[in-house]
Structure 1
């Protein structure tokens, strides 16, 4: 019975993996070579594991039926203790499956390394996109096009895209399931991800690593466009015209470091909400404080899609260096101490 329960749970986990927790079969609906290769590896691994799961379910049901109390014809061997054939099967099959899975994991980790460029997939020049995880929103900077967006990504189809990823707060994870696997975004560090969209479409992107109270709002749409539509979108944003296909998006000027930091100004912390409740004197103040408490420390909907027609140079580097000041200070202090010691020795 325990084996049956474990087998059913295994099938439930497999179903969850196939659905990608989003209702559709994301694992079977890949839109890029990286995601397709990863999906193939995952499905092969599932098929191999089903070689154990399915026979376990069948045997558990069959044993329960064969050795039921009413079956007087079932063999009864109270002195049975060992079977070489059974030992070979129960040890040999798992060992073979684990060996195959280990080889697949080693091969796949090199073949679909997120840092590996997709030069063989296209002869087009990759599009660079710098991704900054903000609380609780995604900022996309296009350094060559000198534009930026918040909570919306647009890329040309059949063109390699090189993501440079960092975080401006806690560690989180950048994930577009139909294009590639997830990769972490960490403050003071830069990770890389290479993807390519095979066709035009809209794909779901989100933070797949819990990172705080606004986690459920940290998602976006990734649009794959034709090359002509992508160039037109870029030129419209540069000209401050916004996007005719998304009239609800806000169009703004320059995204500099100060503006980037101000994106979180509308968010209240738990401590600020508690202070509002304690300091409320009039019925109106109390009503505002209670509404803030009800809404929580972060908005109940994602940050609105916003376009910036220009970007401060090296904004991405400034975000990373913001968290490297302590390291550089310690390094400078260490070098100063070494120079002082050297001069004292002379």
Structure 2
């Protein structure tokens, strides 16, 4: 009995410590209507399920105590086989709870659909997001600027994210503001979010929640919700090539075009793997793979520094999607890309 008690206490303590590993319980401390609604749905579902879990735990402990070997007063009914009352409770309550959960799921799935625009008096801000290996690239088509590993937007303004990937599938997640959405090569997914207030100085945590290679743990970024005036000042500073006046730790560059975009890809192997590949390459294919790995370099061991681009090549986001389209190879997509560029200009 003593060992069992110690084991239960140890597991409880471990659970409490693990709960605090992330510091703030961000999923329960939402800063936007989408995340707040999803958090409310999650907690409601937990409370409903606890209506079954808690009584079950209590009864399991109580039955064990009541029908222990030393209790000679406990009822002994070797021929007992059925109880209508117990059957009604055991089946009825779970069915009712499942029915309520089904309704909540149906309503919540439509109300918090990531493709559903948010209602607001302010015009939405559109941001194109590209999951690169291993970093996040944010393109502001209306402002003609771009960033790496930093998302900045005005508070109380809907943000319409358009996401794709330039390598394997990734999951875009800002827990304080919204649920996660996948970014996939050759496809475009949508996500709408809004921050009710300005973010802390360090911003909200954003990251990839889907394993995509050795360097995926470095796919972390910060999302900053600022005032309208601060956002306008930041955009003007970046366009003027002085973005690091707002964020001194950022790297300021000029244009993000296809050539610059190609340099942003990280390698997917460690330095040791690359060394061994080059030392042991014998066939032409092995030498080619080793040379490619050497040119790409090792996967990152820390996030890519925040980088600002004062201008962006028009149609860059669409060109990334077209690269992976199933009918792209051998086809001329210059017309469609030109149309997308013209539409952006309008």
TM bucket, shorter chain: 0.7 to 0.9
Q: Which residue of 1 aligns with 2:117?
A: 117
Instruction: Assess, with a 3 A threshold, how the Cα gap between structure 1 residues 320 and 302 changes in structure 2: closer, same or farther.
Output: same
Q: Structure 2 matches for 1:163-312, cutoff 5 A?
A: 163-201=161-199, 202-264=203-265, 267=267, 269=269, 272-278=274-280, 297-312=298-313
Q: Secondary structure at the match of 1:132?
A: strand
**Contact 1:213/1:297 (8 A) holds in 2:** no
Q: Which residue of 2 aligns with 1:82?
A: 82
Q: How many Å separate the matches in 2 of 1:214 and 1:111?
A: 35
Deviation at 1:299, TM superposition (A): 1.6
Stretches of structure 2 that go unaligned for 5 or more consecutive residues are 1-7, 282-292, 333-346
Q: How many Å separate the matches in 1 of 2:261 and 2:312?
A: 10
CA displacement, residues 83-105 of structure 1 (integer Å, 9 cap, x when unaligned)? 00111111111111111111111
CA displacement, residues 125-157 of structure 1 (integer Å, 9 cap, x when unaligned)? 100000000001000000000000000111100
**Contact 2:214/2:269 (8 A) holds in 1:** no
Deviation at 1:309, TM superposition (A): 0.4
Stretches of structure 1 that go unaligned for 5 or more consecutive residues are 1-7, 280-291, 333-346
**Contact 2:169/2:183 (8 A) holds in 1:** yes
Q: Structure 2 matches for 1:142-161, cutoff 5 A?
A: 142-161=140-159
Deviation at 1:238, TM superposition (A): 0.4
Q: How many Å separate the matches in 2 of 1:21 and 1:322?
A: 40
Q: How many Å separate the matches in 2 of 1:24 and 1:277?
A: 47
Q: Which residue of 2 aligns with 1:34?
A: 34
**Contact 1:20/1:27 (8 A) holds in 2:** no
CA displacement, residues 21-48 of structure 1 (integer Å, 9 cap, x when unaligned)? 7332112100000111111111100000
Question: Structure 2 length as normaliser, TM-score?
Answer: 0.82
Instruction: Assess, with a 3 A threshold, how the Cα gap between structure 1 residues 304 and 315 changes in structure 2: closer, same or farther.
Output: same
Deviation at 1:19, TM superposition (A): 5.3
Instruction: Assess, with a 3 A threshold, how the Cα gap between structure 1 residues 64 and 320 changes in structure 2: closer, same or farther.
Output: same
Q: Secondary structure at the match of 1:327?
A: coil
**Contact 2:173/2:180 (8 A) holds in 1:** yes
Q: Which residue of 2 aligns with 1:338?
A: none
**Contact 1:19/1:27 (8 A) holds in 2:** no
Q: Which runs of 4+ in 1 moved over 6 A?
A: none
Instruction: Assess, with a 3 A threshold, how the Cα gap between structure 1 residues 32 and 21 changes in structure 2: closer, same or farther.
Output: farther
Aligned residues: 303
Instruction: Assess, with a 3 A threshold, how the Cα gap between structure 1 residues 330 and 241 changes in structure 2: closer, same or farther.
Output: closer
Deviation at 1:190, TM superposition (A): 0.1
Question: Structure 1 length as normaliser, TM-score?
Answer: 0.82
